[in-house]
Amino acid sequence: MQFLPLHYATAFGAACLLAATVGAAQSPAAATKSAAAPTGQAHLLAHEAEVNALLKKMTLEEKVHMLHANSAFAAGGIERLGIPEIMTSDGPHGVRPEQGRNWKPPVDANDASTYLPTNNTLASTWNRDLGYAYGTVLGSEANARGKDIILGPGINIVRAPLNGRNFEYLSEDPYLITQMVVGYIKGVQDQGVSACVKHYAANNQETHRDDVDVDMSERALREIYLPGFKAAVQVGGVNTLMGSYNKFRGTYATENAYLMKTILKQEWGFNGLVMSDWGSVHNTDEALRNGTDLEMGTDLYLMYSGADQSAATAAAGTTPTAPKRSYYDRFYLADPALAAVQKDPSLLPLIDDKVRRILRVMYATKMLGATKRQPGAFNTKGHQATALKVAEEGIVLLKNEGNLLPLKKSVKTVAVIGANADRANSMGGGSGQLKAKYEITPLQGLKNELGSGVTINYVPGYTIARDQKADAQQIAQAVAAAKAADAVIYVGGSIHGYDYTKWSDNAYDAEAVDKPDLKMPFGQDALVQAVLGANPNTVVVLLGGGPIEVAPWAGQAKAIVEAWYPGMEGGNALAHILFGDVNPSGKLPFTFPVKLEDAPAMKLGEYPSTPGNPLKEMYKDDIWVGYRYYDTYKVAPQFAFGHGLSYTTFEYGKLTVKPAAQRATVTLTVRNTGKTAGAEVVQVYVKDLKSAVKRPEKELKGFEKVFLKPGETKTVTMQLPADAFKYYDEAKKQWVLEPGQFEVLVGSSSRDIRQTGSLTL
């Protein structure tokens, strides 16, 4: 089989607060279920005596054997000492199917798992409890499948709208990330296995992900790109972390002393292990000294050829007379590391530190030690119910003019238009691919919802294929169906799926490649316009991993729903929302620009690279990411960060902001003034009125999702600690709180502020 270029191939390798700056109440679930667990990183030191005793028994060869993969997803293992292999699996929205050691998938494997909505859908729930529930499903299923580490969550900042991997990430806002990541990690780790937060750091695009050299100001690094990772370590207590492919300030992330040693291990006190992304180590000495504890990667020859191990070993150059060494023994942290220490014994403490970190994770996940892990569960009804709940709370109602939604169940004929309605997405996207136990497509969900008494007329309207243009005949069929129906539901947007015969079809939401543009693919703009022309009451549903341009027809549409990639129960969740069984409560975790060129990464930044140098990228957009840019630079978005409508209405009562020593308490009432039960995400933004440095117009520093029955009022109280008011001072190399006046803006989105208060600190 033909080899793909390396930057594609690595995809298949896969294919394959600051303590929450705000002390908004931790989710009750997370609080109770994790009450007994130690916080931060201390739990990783609970078995230090045993770890050191075990380390003493190991030969140098055995130590080095622990530092690298021994097949696509397994590493280490020393039989003599009873040390098992570490088994890993992607991640990040379900446990992926078995690939087999040599990329020969086992024939009868019971590996069709729960397919959760993608990470961006989770972020859209703004519900910390669901972060925990989501992690619980992953941890439980990983455990049941014999995995020790689940390769998720993905938490890189959604900076560039074209990033092919935005669907695996959470948000453009660091605070929202800190809040959602903690529950996810605790959920996974309370099941006994480890989470692996990825990709550290500055891996915000797939174009040239293997070799792009990213640079940015120290302020942008500290204020925007690192808070999620810091919260994962210090609040989430994550056991493992993955070093990204890209370079940062001239050095690969996996070998980057500043990122790995100075910040992660020293400043943040990370006690766990750093693994490389698959094939992201490039130098033995640098990795030994500066960063990675465990080198992961995959034997691409085996992966593509399906050949057996000995054939691969021969192909890779081992002479028949030499002792059989596997492909993995030639990793940077394998034979070359052994040779390096043998030559220079002063390197030994570095090896010991790495082995120690690996053993700590093994004790923390009960792979070693007297107590054994409780068994996990696979594909339970409860897990499927979590998938449904996350989708129901993550789907976002973007527009609903004249209350077109919810639709009435008394309809007789429904036209469902759009090839996405009938398309499964679980096997798509790269390393996040899943063999789902089942996947309810939007079309199936609508059939389930409406039953046999309603006629559903499905018309694809377009063909999912690269460079597909609008097709007059298909449009005519769609228009005819739209005219003949009582209700029209258009399901389009982007796709998420690998078709192995046509790689390039996947240049939409997929790993290792960014999107070509932000337009609706496959000629959909013309189709949507024609369908809306034929029936102005058409509801437009979008699928996708990030923002998409809707400006060509958004003014014409009365109702627009963003459904992301909503997982195995996604079609049911969507139908529940469209027909009013569930009141939407999702909010956008990133801005939808009117057009791609408006995005700060395009306008101020250098995405995808510095002009004339494809391997260099300076983040000139600095801290002006997402709404920080749109609001400060007064650029109108299509849909604002934090936006999402409901079938009911909420009234925000009077706001009080009570300052105390370097902190504040924010209190207000919220009332459901409509006739339907619903949930509102009350968002708190802080604005510094006068500052020595330019600061954003507003920054999210707190939120609460409040569930209200019709007529019900609740009092919402949120704490804003000192951190909520600080910025990173590059000269002082620290966060500073500049005394003075601050505004507290409370609203339903970043552009829908309902109450304003102020305080002087």
Query: Applying CB under 6 A, which residues contact ligand BGC?
Result: 10-11, 13-14, 16, 90-91, 151, 198, 277-278, 431
φ/ψ (deg, to 5) at 706: -110, 125
Residue (141 or 704) nearer to ligand BGC, CB: 141
Pairing type for strands 413-417 and 650-652 reads unpaired
Residue (13 or 442) nearer to ligand BGC, CB: 13
Distance CA 585, CA 171 (A): 17
Residue (16 or 30) nearer to ligand BGC, CB: 16
Helix locations, 252-299, DSSP H: 284-290
For 412-452, strand residue ranges (E) read 413-417
Distance CA 212, CA 203 (A): 9
Residue (14 or 407) nearer to ligand BGC, CB: 14
Query: Which two structure tokens, joined as six digits, stand for 62?
Result: 């055995």
Closest approach of Cβ 573 to ligand BGC, in Å?
26
Distance CA 175, CA 701 (A): 6
Query: Which two structure tokens, joined as six digits, stand for 352?
Result: 């010991």
Closest approach of Cβ 278 to ligand BGC, in Å?
4
Whether residue 201 has a cis bond before it, omega within 30° of 0: yes
How many C-alpha atoms does 347 have within 13 Å on its Cβ side? 21
Distance CA 366, CA 645 (A): 45
Q: At what angle do helices 381-394 and 128-144 cross, to 10 degrees?
A: 150
Residue (481 or 513) nearer to ligand BGC, CB: 513
Q: At what angle do helices 472-484 and 524-534 cross, to 10 degrees?
A: 30
Instruction: Please report the sign of the dihedral spanned by the C-alpha atoms of residue 335, residue 302, residue 144, residue 279.
Output: positive
Distance CA 641, CA 638 (A): 10
3 state SS of 214: strand
Residue (145 or 399) nearer to ligand BGC, CB: 145
Q: Please confirm, yes or no, whether 335 is among the known catalytic residues.
A: no
Residue (278 or 508) nearer to ligand BGC, CB: 278
Residue (121 or 474) nearer to ligand BGC, CB: 121
3 state SS of 231: helix
Q: Given the structure tokens 């995959």, which residue do they identify? A: 298
φ/ψ (deg, to 5) at 551: -55, -35
Give one DSSP letter per residue of 683-714, joined into a string.
EEEEEESS-SS---S-EEEEEEEEEE-TT-EE
Q: Which residue is nearest to ligand BGC (CB)?
A: 14
Distance CA 653, CA 655 (A): 6
Please identify which of the residues 111, 213, 277, 505 carries the catalytic annotation.
277
Closest approach of Cβ 518 to ligand BGC, in Å?
23
Q: String of b and e for 294-309 (b: at least 16 CB within 10 Å)?
A: bbbbbbbbbbebebee
Closest approach of Cβ 468 to ligand BGC, in Å?
28
Distance CA 557, CA 505 (A): 28
Q: Which amino acid is at 218?
A: E
Query: Which two structure tokens, joined as six digits, stand for 582?
Result: 């569930």
3 state SS of 104: coil
Query: Which two structure tokens, joined as six digits, stand for 162?
Result: 């074209």
Picking from 343, 320, 365, the residue whose alpha carbon sits closest to that of residue 88 is 365
Closest approach of Cβ 609 to ligand BGC, in Å?
19
Closest approach of Cβ 241 to ligand BGC, in Å?
12
Q: Which amino acid is at 74?
A: A
Neighbours of 245 (CB within 10 A): 25
Distances (CA, A) of 262 to 11, 266, 282, 290, 536: 29, 5, 20, 9, 58
Closest approach of Cβ 301 to ligand BGC, in Å?
16
Closest approach of Cβ 508 to ligand BGC, in Å?
17
Residue (3 or 374) nearer to ligand BGC, CB: 3
Residue (93 or 754) nearer to ligand BGC, CB: 93
Query: Which two structure tokens, joined as six digits, stand for 46?
Result: 């609970």
Picking from 10, 149, 166, the residue whose alpha carbon sits closest to that of residue 91 is 149
Pairing type for strands 713-720 and 663-672 reads antiparallel
Known catalytic residues are 277
